[in-house]
Amino acid sequence: MLTRNLVITLVLFCLVAFAAAFVFYDRSQGTDQPAVVEKTPLVRDYSPVIGPEDAPVTIVEFFDPSCEGCRAMYPYVKQIMAAYPDKVRLVLRYVLFHKGSEEAVRILETAREQGVYEPVLDAVMEAQPKWHDDPKVAAAWDAAESAGLDVEAARAGMNSPEIDGIIQQDVADVKAVGISGTPTFYVNGDTLSRLGPQELYDLVTSKVESLK
């Protein structure tokens, strides 16, 4: 189980953040995941990975950087990964449901090319309330720069064919898998059926324990 302090924090978190879950967890047509999940790769070779590349447990997050729910879950995902530093990796798949999401993804991908993906991701997510649903995402650029992004180089390369290809394939996979809300998590291919920090922790822990 998570620490007692985290559980207490979770109670407060539920009252504030998850009270708005049905606003930012953008479900358009129910919660069932279609059978085509099995036919579509959850992980692509190009997908950004945080954690050990060869970790036996993979969290796949369909992630919209402008989604408030993604921001709310982000610190808990990091805590879970810290609990299993050698066993768990995070793979991010991009979802573009909100205004400004595509440009934010392009910021992140240029950060990956520059070798500063994780600090820029942390900074962009922390600053999200300042740029959420803002098509210009000026505060996201400022946050990324403060985390080490070369903004001039990023703006010059953000519309590269490589980044275009990543976005286009992720958009296609989001549609094929049937993702209608963010964040959506899979752990070693199993869907997280109920969104919450404890639920994700329990699913990850069950996968780690099954390795013994």
Instruction: State the CATH number of the domain containing residue 31.
Output: 3.40.30.10
DSSP 8-state secondary structure symbol assigned to residue 157: H
Strands 184-187 and 190-191: antiparallel
The number of folded domains in the chain is: 1
* CA 204 centroid distance within chain: 16
Which pLDDT does position 134 carry in this prediction? 83
Which pLDDT does position 23 carry in this prediction? 37
Cβ–Cβ under 8 Å, residues 57 and 87: yes
Which pLDDT does position 41 carry in this prediction? 84
Mean pLDDT by 10 residues, the chain (212 residues): 46 41 37 38 94 96 97 98 97 96 97 98 97 90 98 98 97 95 97 97 97 87
Which pLDDT does position 40 carry in this prediction? 59
3-state secondary structure 6-54: HHHHHHHHHHHCHHHHHHHCCCCCCCCCCHHHHHCCCCCCCCCEECCCC
Rounded distance, CA 55 to CA 85, Å? 9
Rounded distance, CA 140 to CA 153, Å? 16
Which pLDDT does position 131 carry in this prediction? 96
Which pLDDT does position 158 carry in this prediction? 98
Which pLDDT does position 90 carry in this prediction? 98
DSSP readout, 80-102?
HHHHSTTTEEEEEEE---STTHH
Rounded distance, CA 60 to CA 93, Å? 7
Which pLDDT does position 46 carry in this prediction? 96
Is 98 buried (19+), middle (13-18) or exposed (0-12) by CB count in 10 A?
A: buried
Rounded distance, CA 181 to CA 174, Å? 10
Rounded distance, CA 18 to CA 12, Å? 9
Boundaries of domain holding 92: 4-209
